[in-house]
Amino acid sequence: MADALIAVALLLVAASATAAVATRDPARQALVLSVLGVVLAVLFTTLQAPDVGLSQLAVGAALTPLLLLLTVRKVRRRPRREEDPR
């Protein structure tokens, strides 16, 4: 039973990592990265490492995607400067 659960978690990790790489829009990519962080936290918990799973949940599923979304928002709001045609 535990081996089947680990295999399902590994398949979910592979699928979500592939989706994160295949996504072109940076905002959607950050959201898929958050899903990948949650799936990795489930995998670590399944592998009897709850402390690593909680760390992954905090950093990989919450903090990193939030920082990426804020960065994308700030970059998209910045007006483009005209280059000096000297």
CA distances from 40 to 51, 59, 72, 73, 75 (A): 12, 11, 24, 26, 29
pLDDT per residue rounded down to tens, the chain (86 residues): 789 999 999 999 999 999 999 999 998 999 999 999 999 999 999 999 999 999 999 999 999 999 999 999 998 887 777 766 66
Contact status, residue 44 vs residue 50, Cβ threshold 8 Å: yes
Q: Compute the distance between CA of residue 55 and CA of residue 36 in angstroms, rounded to an integer.
A: 14
Q: In the prediction, which pLDDT does 84 show?
A: 63
Contact 62, 34 (CB under 8 A): yes
